[in-house]
Amino acid sequence: MGPFLNKLINTVTLLSFVLLSGCGGGGSSSSETIPIITPPPPPPTNTVPDCTPTTYTNTLYCTSKRQNLNREFYIYIPDDIDTTNSQVPLLFSLHGYTSRAIWNLGYTGFQSIAETEKFIVIYPQGTILASTGETHWNVGGWTVGSTTDDVDYLSSLIDWAYSEYKIDRNRVYSTGMSNGGFMSYHLACNLSYKIAAVASVTGSMTPQTYNSCSPTHPTAILQIHGTADGVVPYYGNSISRAIPTVMDYWEEYNDCEQEIINIIDDVNGDGDGGYLYSYNQCLSDVNLRLYLMTNMGHEWPTNNGQNDIIAANEIWYFLKQYDVNGKINF
């Protein structure tokens, strides 16, 4: 083997050693693991509600996407409202567990009042709870495991209603039947700065809502409940706080100093009536009301002649007195 060939072999050997040393990290024979960088998930898809007329008077059906979920609602818009000066109140009317927004629109009876009083009503639709396949509002309790952010969704509807109809953002209210009542309390606790006052019919507060409740202003509360409610018992169970406990919470939070009990007359002649508990002299002049109806079950009291009160009337004429700053001086 000639000198030139020997020199070439030595050079190649040296170069190979240098390259292997650089790749092996100081002569180690183990190879480095190159980390795999996972790109972040795309942001959730949100779309502006798209609304179309329905066969119901002054009522639109709207669909949108929020947090990648298809959402829908009905909205009642009274005639001749002024959408330029931010004076129109907004009321959420929330259906119960397993129920539908369109049914809530049918039985609650708010449209005729809204037409006279000139406020907008939104009837949102809850999503499907994966564990049961039923419609729901995510409030804890039996809905634990739900991933739906209903607070975010309803908050977005307030913003949309302002952009479309110039609602009075200081006068946004929520009411609901059963799970919708639970959700109304949930909003009062978790969206307080946007919610002036709430009313619950046959609803309550779950332990999760109750334990984490953090309102930011004195809040007017109305509760309608029956002593014979077997679905959401008046004295509570493992998934719902007792109604007296709920009222005690808001009485203490609002620093109310006076409690008055009045008898509710037996209007329908069935031998039952009820009791109206009024909590007065509270901060910002808000009030609390509890309609405790004797032998009423899990139902929404309507004007069908079978009830001693009409829920829609009691709810609106109570809620309308308040904004986020307390009682309104009309």
Instruction: Say what the pLDDT of residue 86 is.
Output: 81
Residue 282's domain comprises 50-327
Instruction: Say what the pLDDT of residue 38 is.
Output: 82
Residue 124 lies in a domain: yes
Residue 39 lies in a domain: no
Residues 92, 75: Cα–Cα separation, whole Å: 9
Instruction: Say what the pLDDT of residue 4 is.
Output: 46
Instruction: Say what the pLDDT of residue 285 is.
Output: 98
Residue 201 lies in a domain: yes
H or E element at residue 176: strand 167-177
Q: What is the mean pLDDT of each run of 10 residues along the chain (330 residues)?
A: 48 43 47 79 89 97 97 97 89 98 98 98 98 98 97 98 96 98 98 98 98 98 98 98 98 98 96 97 98 97 93 98 95
Residues 6 or more apart whose CB falls under 8 angstroms from that of 107 comprise 300, 302
Domain count, the chain: 1
Residue 323 lies in a domain: yes
Domain with residue 160: its CATH number is 3.40.50.1820
Residues 101, 76: Cα–Cα separation, whole Å: 12
Question: What are residue 198's phi and psi, to 5 degrees?
Answer: -140, 160
Residues 319, 222: Cα–Cα separation, whole Å: 8
Instruction: Say what the pLDDT of residue 44 is.
Output: 82
Which residues, listed in sequence order, are joined to residue 53 by a DSSP beta bridge? 60
Residues 45, 64: Cα–Cα separation, whole Å: 10
Residue 303 lies in a domain: yes
Residue 23 lies in a domain: no
Residue 44 lies in a domain: no
Residue 9 lies in a domain: no
Quote the pTM value. 0.88
Instruction: Say what the pLDDT of residue 40 is.
Output: 81
